[in-house]
A and B are shown apart, each in its own frame.
Chain A
Amino acid sequence: MSAGTEVTTTWVAVCPAEQIVPETGVCALVEGEQVAVFRLADGSVWALGNLDPFSGASVMARGIVGDRAGVPVVASPVYKQCFDLRTGACLDDPSVALPAHRTEVVEGVVLVAAQEGMAT
């Protein structure tokens, strides 16, 4: 995507925030893509691609949520690599990252932005 291109963000309503057990994730289909949506105990909501790059399985939503030195993370349920919930960066392998999606909670409903171009 080159600079200056008009971008219209598509927001997809996923579910009521209350439906996500705090400190866990759920998987949503956002324009056909699997997105892992996490809600933390403080009410914040984060969304990353659901495909675990290390195993090739679409399972990130099933990982354990926690923190590493204060950074909110999810650990892949397959081989346990940790990803920064805010950016998708893999803390165990800097060359790998998950796509990160913007989220908003509007009137108690979680909105996830469809992918706005490849994260780098």
Chain B
Amino acid sequence: MQSKQTVVVIGNGMVGQKLLDVLVEDGATDRWDVVAFGEERHLAYDRVNLSAYVAGASAAELNLAAPEVVGHPAVRMVVGDRVVAIDRDARTVTAESGQVVCYDALVLATGSTPFVPPVAGGDGPGCFVYRTLDDLDAIIAHAPDCGTGVVIGGGLLGLEAANALRQLGLETHVVEFAPRLMPVQVDDAGGSVLRSAIEAIGIGVHTAKVTTEVRRDGDRVTGLAFADGTDLVADLVVYSAGIRPRDDLARSCGLEVGERGGVVVDDACRTADPRVYAVGECASHQGRVYGLVAPGYSMARVVADRLTGGDATFTGADLSTKLKLLGVDVASFGDAHATTPGARILTWHDACPSDPSVATYKKLVVSGDGLRLLGGMLVGDASDYASLHQLHASGATLPAHPELLVLPSLAGASSPLPGAGAMDDGATVCTCNNVTKGAICAAITDCALTTVGEVRDATRAGSTCGSCTPLISGILDDELTRAGVAVDRSLCEHFPHTRQELFDIVRVRRVRTFAELVAGWGTGRGCAVCKPAVASMLATLWNEHVLDRDHASLQDTNDRFLANLQRDGTYSVVPRVPGGEITPERLIVLGEVARDYDLYTKVTGGQRIDLFGARLDQLPSIWRRLVDAGFESGHAYGKSLRTVKSCVGRSWCRYGVQDSTSLAIALEERYRGLRSPHKLKLAVSGCSRECAEAQGKDVGVIATEAGWNLYVGGNGGMKPQHAVLLATDLDTATLVRYIDRFLMFYVRTADRLERTATWLNKLDGGLEHLRRVVVDDSLGLAAELEAAMDHHVDTYRCEWAATLDDPAKLAMFTPFVNEPEAVEVDLAYVRERGQRRPASAEERAASEVAVTVTAGVGGR
């Protein structure tokens, strides 16, 4: 086998991190060890949303560096250390700390620095740039002494910065050199709509202003002076006047840089040195430096592909943008400024003097013959962006009256825009990731996808800027409708609500019975879909016995008879064996019961013992013996907690670092009986050898030297998926708290029969959002979720013990209502490997049946 090579990535910004993500995701780490340098003290974060940090988001919430990537065994992260030299002959990089790392391939992802225009008095206290979390910390620290903040630069980042200053409580102004805001994206009319909307929220806008001086009184900034003789009072200045590529490392090691800066790269994102690549804002491709993240992401994917022997190319980027700045939609695509000869311009401009914040401007640029959409611009209302952008990208013929496309849709009128169904299969839906409609349709059909989240995961469409999500949703609805799948998210015909909505209704309105719920929020009498689903919600929330008179009729057969229905109509019995630990005495009881009732016996995958072939009438007497021996219901029948698998951990194992068995038992006893949308399995491994296979479970815990690592969202089933790391090195109390929160959050928000893996795949914001909810309590729900779990734990009672104590419930186990002593006789078995199993239809027909059930055993 070829030995592994090393790729060094310089820079851990958004693009550098994307490269690491793709390398790990695509398995390039089998071939490459990755060393990534980041000069900031933070791992990669979402720079595009920096103003959220000012609004109170934590650095952790902006974090883009997933632990499974930066903690990957083939990835070494070096943060807070800047690479200062590259030796291309020796193939080494040297960092400020003095460490030297050899490379086989090198990727420059050093990004850019903000451009600070040369202005008298312009560098010193009170003047800032807007680029990093440290920049923001400096602004936040300075702001309390200030009344007025000015942003120099009215581009998209400038408006983001203005948003930040506004959130800091400063009177805020934006100063732009060009005659309008966002000069690259919008025209004068669009700029004026944008300006009115921004002014309407109290931000001062000053266009066509050239700043000549930052006035000072000692160390304090006092204002700005402009070339036209006007001035503006200011206490704080933020520059956002463009970027300059950071190409100094490349220059110093002799790589060619472009006219306007940036390391020159070819279509493979490779510099003149075949071992050195450059991506993102430090790269110059065909003389162009891109100041947007999406082209950087495309470059990162090209390099990842090249490193694994692929031949992907970067051939320029679609500069279409859709943003929401200061609450105002701004979008532009294609030839928005109508530079194509003969182009016709169609505009709709609603200035709305009474409420400038709702003003809209729409502009379409159409070919001279009126057949093609060349570009467009939307300000104030960009809801048609995805469809229009697609119409442009596909080159499809425009409808007869293209002017209708810019008119606001009239109430009741259908949109003149062609729907997703009208698109060609070759049309690109997601321009960020270059995914066609055909690829999306194929994924929907081949993998039986039913949600936008699943399509996103399977195809990457919509995973970057997300602006094509409405189109994806349209295509999905279209495909599902064509395949005869109902797209309606209603639980069933009896409830026009999703499971999550119903759960909230039951919880908030304190609904106690199905009858109450269907009377108030549904129609009809219910069915095999909604009844068990509602039964599960009632059990989760109120934990009343499932066979209570109001609840018994809702239960699917397994819950109704507290056992698992098998193919011949008999049941299997699975007592709880917490953590898989069982005493010899109890093991003997199981053996005796199995022998006395001639039950087929099998050890399950979840470390329990399954006893098959019990008739309905035998279940109570079997359980009487099991309960007397100290067993509890194993809930093998419910959509509920099944098992917590474990290894022997530190107690016996040479390698175990924690007591995994004790924890598994504690967890199983805590969550036993918890009803959930789908069955739940947990596991605890005592060391990273992972003998309990915890990463294949809904909740997996793996011991570390320092505590417990918590994984969530794994499952076996039809579409196996590994769990993902949620939190590390937890003490036991914190671990249990996090699991409480995770399980209750899942139980409350998942769809009917939705596994944790699917739920997590679909969750808006994904793992990061989940981490914020569970670890940072971003929704403020943690206490409520924990209290809900405490209620469950406090009210737990073994369902079988309670059933045996209640004659009314026991009566349900009578097979024939009019002949209580009769037993089922049309059951037939054959012996195989010393045990009985149901006879097949052929065996019955051929009278090969060797065993019929013994009528006497279990009679009551």
- State the A residues within 8 Å of B (CB): 12-15, 19-24, 26-29, 34, 37, 40-41, 52, 55-59, 62-70, 72-73, 75, 77-78, 80, 82
Say yes or no: is B561 at the interface (Cβ < 8 Å to chain A): yes
- Interface residue? B719 (CB, 8 A): no
Interface-side segment among B52-60, B297-305, B537-545, B563-571: B563-571
Q: How far is the CB of A29 from chain B (nearest CB, A)?
A: 5
Residues of chain B at the chain A interface (Cβ within 8 Å) = 493-494, 515, 524-528, 530-532, 549, 552-557, 560-561, 565, 567-569, 811-812, 814-819, 822, 824, 826, 841
Residues in B whose Cβ lies below 8 Å from that of A67: 494, 524-527
Bound Cα distance A34, B826 (Å): 10
| C-alpha gap A37/B819 in the complex (Å) | 14
B interface: dominant SS: loop
Interface CB pairs A-B, < 8 A, 26: A13-B818, A14-B817, A14-B818, A21-B549, A21-B812, A23-B525, A27-B817, A28-B816, A29-B822, A34-B816, A40-B525, A55-B567, A58-B569, A58-B826, A62-B561, A62-B565, A64-B527, A64-B531, A64-B532, A64-B553, A64-B555, A65-B553, A66-B525, A66-B526, A78-B569, A82-B527
Residues from chain B with Cβ under 8 Å of A64 in the complex: 527-528, 531-532, 553-556
CA distance A15 to B822 in the complex (A): 15
- A residues in contact with B556, CB < 8 Å: 64, 77
Inside 8 A of B816's CB, which chain A residues have their CB? Answer: 27-29, 34
The 8 Å CB contact of A12, one of B568, B814, B818, is: B818
Docked CA distance A70–B527 (Å) = 11
Q: Which 9 residue pairs of A and B lie closest in terms of their CB atoms, listed nearest first?
A: A57-B569, A77-B557, A66-B527, A75-B528, A23-B553, A26-B817, A64-B528, A59-B569, A24-B553
Cross-interface CB contact of A29 among B527, B549, B554, B818, cutoff 8 Å? B818
Min CB gap A22→B, angstroms:
7
Q: Which residues of B contact A80 (CB under 8 A)?
A: 528
CB-CB under 8 A from A58, the residues of chain B are 569, 824, 826
Tell me the minimal C-beta distance from A109 to chain B in angstroms.
11
Residue of A nearest to B552 (CB): A21
Query: Which of B494, B528, B826 has most chain A Cβ within 10 Å?
Result: B528
Instruction: Return the chain A residue nearest B808 by Cβ.
Output: A21
Closest residue of chain A to B515, judged by CB? A41
A65 and B531 CA atoms in complex are apart in Å by: 9
Shortest distance from the beta carbon of B486 to any chain A beta carbon, whole Å: 14
* Chain B positions within 8 Å of A24 at CB level: 552-553
Q: Which residues of B contact A20 (CB under 8 A)?
A: 817
Residues of B within 8 Å of A37, CB to CB, are: 817
Residues of A within 8 A of B524 (CB): 66-67, 70
Given the complex of chains A and B, what is the CA–CA distance between A81 and B640 in angstroms? 24
Look across to chain B and name the residue whose beta carbon is closest to the beta carbon of A13: B818
How distant is the Cα of A41 from the Cα of B499 in the complex, in angstroms?
24
Residues of A within 8 A of B531 (CB): 64, 66
Q: Which residues of B contact A15 (CB under 8 A)?
A: 817-818
Smallest CB–CB gap between B576 and chain A, Å? 24
Alpha-carbon distance A75/B492, docked complex (angstroms): 14
Considering the chains assembled together, what is the distance between the CA atoms of A29 and B556 in angstroms? Answer: 23
* Least CB separation from B551: chain A residue: A21
